[in-house]
Structure formats: C-alpha cells, structure tokens
Amino acid sequence: MKRILASLALIASFFNGYAQTTTNPADCNVAVFGCTINDFTAGIGQGNMNDLPSGNNVSNPSTNPGSAGNSGCLLSNELNPTWMIFTIQQDGWFEFTLGSPGSGGFYDWALWPYYQAGGGNLSSNDACSDITNNLLPPVACNWNGSSQGYTGMCQPGNLPTGAVQTNFENAIFVTAGSQYVLCFSNFSGLQNQLVPVYTGTDIPGNSSSTTTASVTCDPSALGSTVCLGDTALATIDLGGIDSNYVTFQFLNNASDLVSSANWPELSILSSDTTEYFVELSDTTGVYDTVSFIINVLPPVFVDAGTDTAICQGAIAYLQGIPSDPNNEFMWTATGSATPFFAPGNDVINPQFQTLGSGMFTLYLTESNGVCPDATDSVYVYVSVPQLQDSLIDPSCNGFADGEIYLDSVGNSQYSFDGGQTYQTANFLTGLAAGSYDVEIVDQYGCTDDATVVLTDPAPVVLTTSNDTTVCENGTATMTATATGGSAFVYNWSTSTNTSTTESYSPTATTTVDVIAYNQNNCPSDPDSIVVSVNPPLSGTISPDVDICPGYPTTLVADGSGGNGGPYNYNWLDAAGNPVGSANTYSANPATTTTYTAIITDGCESTPFPQQVTVTVLPEPDVQFSADITEDCAPGTFTLTNDTDPTMVGNWYWNLSNDSAYMNVDPLTVNIPEVGAYDVQ
C-alpha cells in the first residue's frame, strides 16, 4: 500500500508541472487535464502524429477490448489528435461524453492507464512511452460507428439521450487517485468544432447517479483509496511555494491526521470515506483552500459456498456470498481437467462445468482493488461412476441359474432392466441366457449403464443307436454318445450302468430310455431306443399217419415265428437219432415210430419241437368172392369183400378193363366186352 500511495503523490506533482503550460495537446506528453469542459473546442491539431505508428497491435489493437461489441480502436490511426488526462477523484464507474447529440464528424478515441516514469509495471518509462513503444494496451476505445460526432463511455443501460450504441463503450470501474490518458482523433478534420466534454454526474441525465466516478481537472491535492485500518497519504500541491513557509489547517476531521512529518505529504487514518478541506497559509496569510477525498473501503470477506457434487457433464450452480457485490470476483479451479465457468469466471455465482472427474477445488477471490484480496474455497466432486460387472453364465444350456454382479463401491442403486426398476442389492440371480441392460446409481445420483450378455454353454446333444429287434432269449446292445462337454455319464432306464454301451435281454418289446450328463451335470434331452422281441418259434407238422409195411410216407414240418426264417429242421427218430434236416422227411419204419421235428431259426429263439407218429399196420388177408366167374356178354358180376373188417380201413377194386371202385361192397359190374378180366 505504501508503494501505491507514493506513486499517487508523484502523479500529483506531475499534474502541477504540466496543467498550466500545455496549449496544443496534440501529443501524449503534452496532454491537458480533462474533466467537464462545456466549451472545449476540437482543433485540427498537427495532422498524423507518431504516437501510434503504423502496424501497432498492442497499444492500438484492431479488436475492441470492451464489452459493448463495437468495432476496434483507432483503425484510421491517430489523425488531428487531442490528448487529455482524466484524474479520478472518487471511486465509481468512469463515464464521459465527447460532443453533442446530432453533431457531425467522426471522433475516434482510445483510453489507456496514465502514469509517470516508473509508475507502471511494463517498463521503467512513463505511460506515453509505453504507448509509443507498443507495450501498453488500452482499457477502452471506440472507432466511430456513425458520423454523429457524439461518443464516449457509459454504464450499460445508461446510454445518454440521442446517443448511438456503436459510438459508446461500456464504463470501467476506477478508483480514486487513478489516471487515464485519452487520445481523441479528429478523423473528419473539423476545425473549431465545439466538442463539449462531460464526466460523471455532469453528463446530461446522469445527475442522480450514485455509482459514477468523480473526475477532477485540478489535482492540486489528490486523495487516495485505502482499506479500513490503513493509513492514507495525501500530497498537497503548494502552488510552487516552499513547504517551509506554508502551514496548514484542517477545516474538518482534524483528528484523523496521523502525521505531517513529510509535509506536504499528510498521513491520515479515516474510519469512513471523507472529503477533507485544508486551508493553506504562507507568510502573508491564507492563500488557498484545497480539498481531497480519502475513500475508505471495508476489508473483503468472501464465502465460496457449500461443498457439492455433480455428475460429469452436469452443471454446478455456485453460490458465493460476497462482502460487496460491487467488488471484482475471480473463480479459479484445480482438478483433473479444464474448468468452465459461465457466463465467465468473473461473476459471483457462475455455473461450473468440466469434462474431468474427481475432486475439484474451486477458489473464489474477491477484490476491491485496495484491501487484501479474500479467497475462499469450495470442493466440487465430479462423479463418473464406472460400471464393472461380474457374470456367471447359466450352468447348463436352457437353465435359468445365471447371475449378474455389479460393482458396489460407492453405489446406492442398481437396475437390471434398463432403469425401469431399482434395487439396493448389487446382484441378480436366477437368470437365463440373454442380454440385460444394467445400470448403477452412485451416492451422488450419477449413473453408468451397459448391456451385458449371459451366454448358454453348448447344449448336451445325445445320439443313440437305432431301434433294434432281438430274438427270444436274445440280448440287445445299445449305444449312446453325446457332445457339449468333456466327459459324460449315461443314465439307462434298464440298469445302473453309466457307460456309453448298454446290453439288455428283454422278454418282451421294451422302450429303453437314456439321458446323458456332462461333467457339469448338465443333462441332454432324453432319448429312447425301442427293443422289439421276435415271437417264439412255432410251427406245424404232418398229422399222425398209418402206413402199411414197406410203404413210405412223407412227413412235413413248417416253422413260423422267431426271426421269420429261414428255419432249420432236425428230424429225430424215436431213439433220438437224427434222420433228416429238411422240412420234409420220407418215413418208412418197419414198426410204428414217433418222429420229432425240431425247428430252429439260427437265432437265440427257444427251439420248437413237434412230433408225429407213423403207425405201421399189419398186412390184412384180403379175401373176396364173386357170385359168378363167367357170363354171357354183356355179363353182370357181383363182387363181395370177404376180408376181416377189423383189418380194413379202405378198400379199392381194380379191374383189368381199367375200371376202379373205392369202398363199394358188394360191387356189381357190367362188362359188355367178351374177354377174361382180372380182379384185384
């Protein structure tokens, strides 16, 4: 603070040296003091001066630094200029006007901070040199937008009557003791044009403003702005009189004087903003009364608000609490990514947004330009939940025993149906294969989602041997094989066997069921094999037969059932000796004999035996008689069978005339031809 006040004192001395001698302010180093000047007349100046050489881009940028959105600065450079210095007497918004509504001409201007050599921070030179050397950027400027000859600077919404916005810039906030130098370019070259200058409350329509800065044309005693509790320095311009011959008398608040040891510099401790009036006397008496204002600003206290959390991409609405809403503010942040403040980081309650994540520390600094800045911080946690899942697929194809587990650290809600419902448990079981839309909600309400897929393992596919047929007493060998695993067991319905092959001897047609299980005990669909059993062997054989001794008979056996043949035949006599292997056998026993025909089918069927008895009858003693043995042609003969009837089953009459008769007794025959005929 002492360094700043010292420079203020130097400024006051500079004013005293130049204010009374400058008559043609066409260059920066001969600028006049400006304030409200009703009768200011623009001269044609000295043409194109060299303060702003061609190609300038720092001291005379092509882009307007102001917020009104107007064109650049002195785009036509410096023509017929007038330079004037404005001295701020009281804090506020710096407002001024040049010209009058409806007047003609183009008046361009640029405004820079003003200081003596060593008073700036760009070089050791004064402001004019820094402007010429293209080092000092303007704080405001205007390239006349319309030929109205009325321009200046005012607070937004406070445009003077008859003014055009393209000719006016937005005011800047200034503090007491600060100075600014204005280059007023008379592009139109109008001579002796009345260009009244108005500042602060002297601007028409602005007399009631309480926020506009006060500007003085006579900085004979410059006050300053200090923080409450700090000592202010005020340097009195003694008008060229040796300070050893000048005394002073405070006309008010004399108790605020702390020290005059460095007279004409006074140290003053004010408890509030005060305008002081000081009477100056020399050896002849009172010769002047000067006034100056000490602006006292309260210390700055700021509250950055309450810690909060947002989701990435969301907006945090900052709620800073200032000590004075008219102070300047600046938000800064540290964190993992670039912070964004809207509408800017220079408002008390901006919106904060970032593409980063994690903890951000936001610093709110409040400054009134005099007191030490106050800074407070607030934490904004930017949450980006990362969904992590652990999946357990269904154990078997088609089973509904899959499971989904979601990372539970820092999360409070979980959804497994795309956000339709939520639960506090981070897992869900009993799930079939398929796609599931999952979502997590963390403790800040931020979400992350994904689609996870539960996959069925390969199905266990069972392949069995074909249906089969076995004979009676036969054994079926069945096989089953499976895919969809690395090892399998087989459940057969006919035994406890678990191997791939099953042997079974059914007594009737049977359906055999089988299921395969892989190493995870996953079953196949059941399958079955039908084992059909052929019927038992059966057959027919010739009925018992009687034969006469020496007369053979053919016995016939026919098989059926079993495997349907071809059948095998084994003829045995009464002693069990094989006598034939065809289905027929010519029997000619000497005595009555029972034959057995055993039928087989070349399979496991039980052999089927059949028996037939061949009875050998005794030979009968054939006796017959004729009633006559001779007769006249045609002759008639009667023949009678006289054989023992117990020995006769059938009888046949055979005559040599080729006639035969069966079972006729007696037999009467007529023989028409003469001859001898045999009878048998």
Cβ partners under 8 Å of residue 262, min gap 6: none
CA dist., res. 280 & res. 290, Å (int): 8
**Mean pLDDT confidence for 124-133:** 87
Q: What is the pTM of this model?
A: 0.53
Per DSSP, the residues of 340-354 read EEES-TTSSS-EEEE
Phi, psi torsion values for 129, nearest 5 degrees:
-65, -40
The arrangement of strands across the sheet holding 197-199 comes to 168-170, 151-154, 96-98, 197-199
- The bridge status of strand 660-662 relative to strand 652-654 is antiparallel
Structure confidence at residue 392 (pLDDT)? 96
**Mean pLDDT confidence for 158-168:** 88
- Please check whether the two domains, 308-383 and 538-616, share a CATH topology: yes
Phi, psi torsion values for 580, nearest 5 degrees:
-165, 155
CA dist., res. 668 & res. 96, Å (int): 179
CA angle 395, 399, 403 (to 5 degrees): 60
DSSP letter for 423, please.
B
Q: What percent of the chain has pLDDT over 90?
A: 56
With bands split at pLDDT 50, 70 and 90, how would you rate the model's confidence at 605?
A: very high
CA dist., res. 107 & res. 126, Å (int): 26
Identify residue 433 by its one-letter amino acid code.
A
Q: How far apart are the first and last CA of the chain?
A: 177
SS3 per residue for 66-86: CCCCCCCCCCCCCECEEEEEE
Residue ranges per structural domain of the chain: 20-216, 221-286, 308-383, 389-454, 461-533, 538-616, 624-671
Please state, in angstroms and as integers, the Cα–Cα distance from residue 258 to each residue in 13, 46, 231, 246, following that order. 22, 49, 8, 19
**What CATH class has 308-383?**
mainly beta
pLDDT in tens, 35-60: 887 777 665 555 445 567 556 688 88
Scored b (16 or more CB within 10 A) or e, 407-419 reads beeebebbbbeee
**What CATH class has 461-533?**
mainly beta
Phi, psi torsion values for 558, nearest 5 degrees:
-125, 125
Structure confidence at residue 506 (pLDDT)? 95
More reliable by pLDDT, 64 or 522: 522
CA dist., res. 168 & res. 476, Å (int): 111
With bands split at pLDDT 50, 70 and 90, how would you rate the model's confidence at 362?
A: very high
**Minimal CA–CA distance to 668: which of 642, 641, 636?**
636
Output the six-digit token pair for 262: 């460095």
Identify residue 458 by its one-letter amino acid code.
A
**Mean pLDDT confidence for 381-390:** 94
**Mean pLDDT confidence for 358-367:** 96
Average pLDDT, the chain: 87
Judge whether residue 8 has pLDDT over 50: no
Ranges 144-148, 168-172, 526-530, 598-602: which has the least confidence: 144-148
Please state, in angstroms and as integers, the Cα–Cα distance from residue 401 to each residue in 324, 436, 454, 519, following that order. 65, 14, 10, 17
**Mean pLDDT confidence for 252-263:** 94
Please provide the size of the chain in residues.
Answer: 680
With bands split at pLDDT 50, 70 and 90, how would you rate the model's confidence at 626?
A: confident
**What CATH class has 538-616?**
mainly beta
Phi, psi torsion values for 243, nearest 5 degrees:
-60, -20
Neighbours of 71 (CB within 10 A): 15
